[in-house]
C-alpha cells in the first residue's frame, strides 16, 4: 500500500462507532504504510460550531488518535485548517465536480433535512473538500466506516475527471478500506439509526471518554428484544438491536459474529450484557484514561499537531503546485 489518509470531524462526542469503524483500523494500518491522519476542522464548520468547543474538540480527536495507539512521531497527525493546500485544491475540485454528482449525496440530504435552503454552501461541497484532503497527498487507501463509501466514490470520480479533462495521469485511484465487524455501529436506543455524535440522547452511544459506570449503565439500558440470543447469524434477522450488540461484541473481541454466537447462543441478554460491559470496559477504559491525560496537557497535543502540520505541508505543497501548473495558473513567483 502506498499512502493512507483519513479524517475525523472535531464535532464532539467521539464514540464507539468512530473507534470501531475508523480509528482502530488506523492503528493497525500504521504498521504497513505511511499514514496521514487529519482532524477535519474545515469540514466541521459546514454546520455551526461554537468556537471554543471547536478548539477543544480538535484537541480531543487528536488525543483519541494518540490514545488509541497511533504513533505521532512515526505518522502525521494534524488539523486540516493549518495546511492551506486542502482549501486551495478543494476550489479546483469545486470546478471539476458536477452539480448532478453532489445532488446524489445522501449525507447532504440527511444533514440538510427539510431546511435545504438554509444549509450552508459548504455542506453542499463537503465531498469536494474531502476529495482534496485525500488527493493533496496522492493517498491511495482511505480507511473509513460504511457511511463514507459514497463520498469516496465521488472522490474517485473527481480524480478521474481531472485526469481526463487535463489529459494527465496525475491523481491516483482511491481505494476505500471498510474493514472489520464494526463498519456500521448502530444507536443503542434504536437499531435502525447509526450511532452518531449528534444524537441528542447520550444513552444512544458509548463515548470514548465514558468511564466504567457510564458504559455499564448504557449497555444495561440498551434496547433488545425478549428472545434469547440465537446460535446462528440467521437468527439475528429482523432483530436490529440484538444484531448490533452482537456485532459490537465481535468487533471488540476481534472475533466474527458467527464465533460469538457459537459461544453465547441460547443465553439471555441480561447475561450477555454483563459480558459485553466487561469487554467494552477492558478495551475502552485505557483509551479514555489516556485521552483525559492528554486533554489535561493541551501543550503536548498542540506541539504534536504543529509538527504534523509542518510535515503534512511538505507533502501537500508540491502536489498542489503541480496541480496548479496542470490547470494553467500562471506561476509568477
Catalytic residue set: 111, 194, 197
Q: Rounded to whole angstroms, what are the CA distances from 122 to 47, 197, 199, 214, 303?
A: 8, 20, 22, 36, 29
Q: Does 18 bind ligand AMP (CB under 6 A)?
A: yes
DSSP string for 243-277: HHHHHHHHHHHT--HHHHHHHHTT--HHHHHHHHH
Closest approach, Cβ 149 to ligand TRP, in A, equals 11
C-alpha cell at position 211: 468511564
Q: Does 191 bind ligand TRP (CB under 6 A)?
A: no
* 7 φ/ψ angles, rounded to the nearest 5 degrees: -140, 150
Closest approach, Cβ 315 to ligand AMP, in A, equals 21
> Which entry of ligand TRP, ligand AMP, none binds 184, CB below 5 to 8 A by partner kind?
ligand AMP
Q: Which of 142, 141, 136 is nearest to 86 (CA)?
A: 136
Residue nearest to ligand AMP (CB): 21
Q: Does 43 bind ligand TRP (CB under 6 A)?
A: yes
For ligand AMP, the binding residues in 133-172 under the rule CB under 6 A are 144-145, 147-148
Question: How far is the C-alpha of 204 from the C-alpha of 194, rounded, in Å?
Answer: 9
Question: How far is the C-alpha of 307 from the C-alpha of 291, rounded, in Å?
Answer: 19
Site track 209-238 with ligand TRP (rule: CB under 6 A), x = hit: ------------------------------
Q: Which is nearer to ligand TRP, 9 or 79 (CB)?
A: 9
Question: How far is the C-alpha of 207 from the C-alpha of 202, rounded, in Å?
Answer: 8
> Which entry of ligand AMP, ligand TRP, none binds 130, CB below 5 to 8 A by partner kind?
ligand TRP
Pairing of strands 76-79, 141-143: unpaired
Binding site for ligand TRP (CB under 6 A): 5-7, 9, 40, 43, 130, 133-134, 142, 144, 148, 151
Binding site for ligand AMP (CB under 6 A): 8-9, 17-18, 20-22, 144-145, 147-148, 182-185, 194-195, 197
Amino acid at each position: 500500500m502506498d499512502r493512507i489518509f483519513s479524517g475525523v470531524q472535531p464535532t464532539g462526542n467521539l464514540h464507539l462507532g468512530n473507534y470501531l469503524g475508523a480509528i482502530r483500523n488506523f492503528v493497525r494500518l500504521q504498521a504497513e504504510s505511511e499514514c496521514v491522519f487529519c482532524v477535519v476542522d474545515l469540514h466541521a464548520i459546514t454546520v455551526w460550531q461554537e468556537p471554543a468547543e471547536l478548539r477543544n474538540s480538535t484537541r480531543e480527536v487528536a488525543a483519541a488518535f494518540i490514545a488509541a495507539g497511533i504513533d505521532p512521531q512515526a505518522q502525521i497527525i494534524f488539523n486540516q485548517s493549518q495546511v492551506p493546500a486542502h482549501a486551495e485544491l478543494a476550489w479546483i475540485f469545486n470546478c471539476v465536480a458536477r452539480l448532478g454528482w453532489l445532488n446524489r449525496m445522501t449525507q447532504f440530504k440527511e444533514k440538510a433535512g427539510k431546511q435545504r435552503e438554509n444549509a450552508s454552501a459548504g455542506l453542499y461541497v463537503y465531498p469536494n473538500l474531502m476529495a482534496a484532503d485525500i488527493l493533496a497527498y496522492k493517498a491511495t487507501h482511505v480507511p473509513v466506516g460504511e457511511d463514507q463509501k459514497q463520498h469516496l466514490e465521488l472522490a474517485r470520480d473527481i480524480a478521474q475527471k481531472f485526469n481526463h479533462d487535463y489529459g494527465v495521469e496525475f491523481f491516483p485511484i482511491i481505494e476505500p478500506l471498510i474493514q472489520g465487524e464494526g463498519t456500521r455501529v448502530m444507536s443503542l436506543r434504536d437499531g435502525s439509526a447509526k450511532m452518531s455524535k449528534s444524537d441528542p440522547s447520550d444513552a444512544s452511544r458509548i463515548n470514548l471518554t465514558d468511564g466504567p459506570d457510564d458504559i455499564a449503565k448504557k449497555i444495561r439500558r440498551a434496547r433488545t428484544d425478549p428472545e434469547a440470543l440465537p446460535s446462528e447469524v440467521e437468527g439475528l434477522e429482523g432483530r436490529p438491536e440484538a444484531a448490533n450488540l452482537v456485532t459490537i461484541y465481535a468487533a471488540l473481541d476481534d472475533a466474527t459474529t458467527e464465533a460469538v454466537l457459537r459461544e453465547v447462543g441460547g443465553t439471555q441478554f441480561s447475561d450477555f450484557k454483563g459480558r459485553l460491559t466487561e469487554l467494552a470496559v477492558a478495551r475502552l477504559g485505557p483509551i479514555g484514561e489516556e485521552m483525559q491525560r492528554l486533554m489535561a496537557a493541551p501543550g503536548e497535543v498542540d506541539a504534536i499537531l504543529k509538527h504534523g502540520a509542518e510535515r503534512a505541508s511538505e507533502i501537500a505543497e508540491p502536489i498542489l503546485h503541480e496541480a496548479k501548473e496542470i490547470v494553467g495558473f500562471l506561476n509568477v513567483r
